[in-house]
Chains A and B, each alone.
Chain A
Amino acid sequence: MTSLVDEIRGYIVAEFLDGEDTAELTSDFDLINSGVVDSLGVVRIVSHISRTYSIPTDDIPLTPDGFRSIGAISAFVENATKTAA
């Protein structure tokens, strides 16, 4: 799980926080309310995790809540890949 969290964190930083100081980016930091990820960003995340973790997009609910934080995204991926296995 730790490596997955790191992976997701790495993706979020590279994709949405390029060039910004992310030392305080914890797993529970609210990405949606803070404007880091907007509705278009959610779409990008969904497409990314679908490709990277082979999760069919149909199985991914497009609600912001599942993508509110690095922790939430990691938990979703963790669950989805477990179910699929």
Chain B
Amino acid sequence: MGETVPSPRLLDALAAHARGRPDQVALIRGEQQVTYRQLAGVAEDLCGVLNSLGLDRRQPLCVPAHKTPATIALLIGAVRAGYAVLAPSPELGSTARAALAAQARCSRVLTVDDQGVLATAPVVPDEQAARDFDAVDPATAPLLLTTSGSTGTPKIVPIPGDAFDRFADWATGRFRLTQKDTLLSYAPLNFDLSLLDVWTPLWLGAQVVLVEQEFSADARHLQELVTRHKVTFVQGVPMLHRLLTQDGAIHPAVRTVIFTGDALPQALLRQLGTAFPHAGFHNVFGCTETNDSFIYDADPAEAGERIPIGRPLPGVRALLLDDEGQVLHGPGTGELLVSTPFQTSGYLQRSRNEGVFVPAPDGGDEVFYRTGDLVTRDADGLYWLKGRTDFQVKVRGVRTNMQEVENVLAAHPDVAEAAVVAIPDPEAGYRLHAQVTRRPGTSLTSLRLRLHSAERLPRHAIPSSVHVGDAPLPRTSTGKPDRNLIKSARQKENRA
């Protein structure tokens, strides 16, 4: 068995596809179509080049995760050559990238152009920076992803090869994926979502349509991709689904729709039902550290105001801990701890793992990951995401969950999307500020939205300031509302 991206099994499968179905298209990006034979060929060439460079295989290679077929071939070639690969966001600034590369003790930063020509840049070694970081073992975890890092330096997360294999098996069975499927890959390649919408189909021998970053907010372009390539599988944040369903678009070929990453408004789920008349709908919940942990099969016709995250996947253990750190039994709300067959063995930075990857609180053998998510288990054993534990703030002394406030605002029929942030306030502790985008053609005002909130929220939870507009909310590179930006904009206004 050779080594593979992100597992040895994947490399063998790719080689088999290149032999058995050489002309099957593996990757599509813009006008470019790459068959399995071509993908394997470029990967083999790059593997050869890397072998000739004679770099130390105990040091990973840093490959900024540009979403191109050539970069995917490079990742495959590098792992085939026996290297582990750190694949950070290509949008990361050069200073942050250099810091990550030094932490993981990478030997080189590699990029590849569309002609398959490799460029390498040295990494300045910094043992001081790498001191707290484990050595990388290409045999057990060939792929290193990073968390999105919206709140600081990205954390390096090794993805064990066998964990990926188990995940690919689960996903293939659960969504009945076959070589006939065409998957739309919307998320950045450095995101864990790519394990499902890029690496799993490559293992299977299916087809992947890579959405180019620059078109990620272009509704017409996205809709055209789905239609033109007869996409059957769509996974993404609510924004993707909003764009795909805009202007009454219908996608009859899609049979699986996954929403993830953020709460999907009820009205949008109803729209999905119309836009994807032959699809099954799934709310999938997870994170980079554990990969997917929960799933809920949603029915647009029966959708309630909120959509649960559902139930643990097969082999996943989920526990809720109360404020005192006691395991909750039966219905209740607490911090979610999960142990999944797909999880990392821990951050590369040792000191980060303490208190985050913990022994089973109920005495079991598994290592659990503390998600920081606040989750409710209802009487039927169904799980509901209430927010982040760190989404809780005290407003005038009362513990307030901003996620719940957001959910209430988003439930107003004229609201397209809503974000709530907490602004530190010398008097109140925190005050809530809401930034809301109304649906086109509606004349929603902040006063009406306040009355809507007043009927559904305790007084302290009604935002102190509510800004309603027509412009979409600012977004992070991963498509979530950019709450930091909304917060700092509001704070600037207050100072003015």
Q: Which of A27-44 touch B at CB < 8 Å?
A: 29-30, 32-36, 38-40
- Does A2 touch B at the CB level, under 8 Å? no
Within 8 A of A (CB), among B431-461: 445-448, 450-451, 453-454, 459-460
Classify chain B: how many residues form its interface, as a range. 20 to 34
Q: Are B427 and A40 in contact (CB under 8 A)?
A: yes
Asked if B467 CB lies within 8 Å of chain A CBs, one says: yes
11 A-B pairs within 8 Å (CB atoms) are namely: A18-B493, A19-B465, A19-B467, A20-B467, A22-B447, A23-B445, A24-B445, A25-B447, A34-B447, A34-B453, A40-B396
Whole-angstrom distance between the alpha carbons of A40 and B396 in the complex? 9
A28 to B427, CA, bound (A): 27
Known interface pairs A20-B467, A35-B464; 11 further A-B residue pairs with C-beta atoms within 8 A, sorted by A's residue number: A18-B493, A20-B465, A20-B468, A21-B446, A24-B445, A34-B462, A35-B454, A35-B462, A38-B460, A40-B396, A40-B427
**Residues in chain B near residue A14, CB distance under 8 A:** none
For the complex, is A17 an interface residue (Cβ under 8 Å from B)? Answer: yes
Cα A25 to Cα B451 with chains together (Å): 12
Q: Complex Cα distance A35/B66, Å? A: 47
Known: A34-B454, A39-B396, A40-B396. A24 touches B448 (CB 8 A): yes
Q: Is there an interface contact between B459 and A35, defined as CB atoms closer than 8 Å? A: yes
- Bound complex: CA A23 to CA B445 (Å): 9
Chain B residues contacting A19 (CB-CB under 8 Å) are 465, 467, 493
Residues on A lying within 8 angstroms of B by beta carbon are: 17-25, 29-30, 32-36, 38-40
Question: Which residues of chain A come closer than 8 Å to B485, judged between CB atoms?
Answer: none
**Nearest-Cβ distance from residue B406 to partner chain A, whole angstroms:** 15
Contacts of B447 in A (CB 8 A): 20-22, 24-25, 29, 34
Nearest CB of B to A17, in Å: 7
User: Shortest distance in angstroms between B52's beta carbon and chain A's nearest beta carbon?
Assistant: 62
- What residues of chain A lie closer than 8 Å to B445, measured between beta carbons? 20-21, 23-24
Contacting residues, chain B, for A36 (C-beta < 8 A): 450
B446 touches A38 (CB 8 A): no
Q: In the assembled complex, which residues on chain B have CB atoms less than 8 Å from the CB atom of A40?
A: 396, 427-428
- A34 near B396 with CB under 8 A, answer no
Contact B493 A38 (CB under 8 A): no
Specify which chain A residues have a CB less than 8 angstroms from the CB of B454 in the assembled complex.
30, 33-35
Complex A-B, nearest 9 residue pairs according to Cβ-Cβ distance, in ascending order: A35-B462, A34-B450, A20-B446, A21-B445, A33-B454, A40-B427, A34-B454, A24-B447, A34-B451
**CB neighbours of B446 from chain A (8 A):** 17, 20-21
Specify which of B448, B451, B459 is in contact with A38 (CB 8 Å cutoff). Answer: B459
A22 to nearest B CB, angstroms? 7
Q: Which residues of B contact A20 (CB under 8 A)?
A: 445-447, 465-468
Task: Enumerate chain A residues within 8 angstroms of B450, measured Cβ to Cβ.
Answer: 34-36
State how many angstroms separate the Cβ of A37 from the closest Cβ of chain B.
10
Tell me if A38 and B428 are in contact (CB < 8 A). yes
B463 beta carbon closer than 8 Å to chain A = yes
**A52, B428: Cα distance in complex, Å:** 25
Chain B proximity of A45: nearest CB distance (Å): 14
Whether A38 and B453, one on each chain, are in contact in the complex, defined by CB atoms closer than 8 angstroms, is no
Q: Which of B427, B463, B468 has the most CB of A within 10 A?
A: B427
Q: Inside 8 A of A25's CB, which chain B residues have their CB?
A: 447
Residues of A contacting B453 with CB < 8 Å?
Answer: 34-35
Q: Which residue of B lies closest to A25 (CB)?
A: B447
Closest to A31 in B: B450
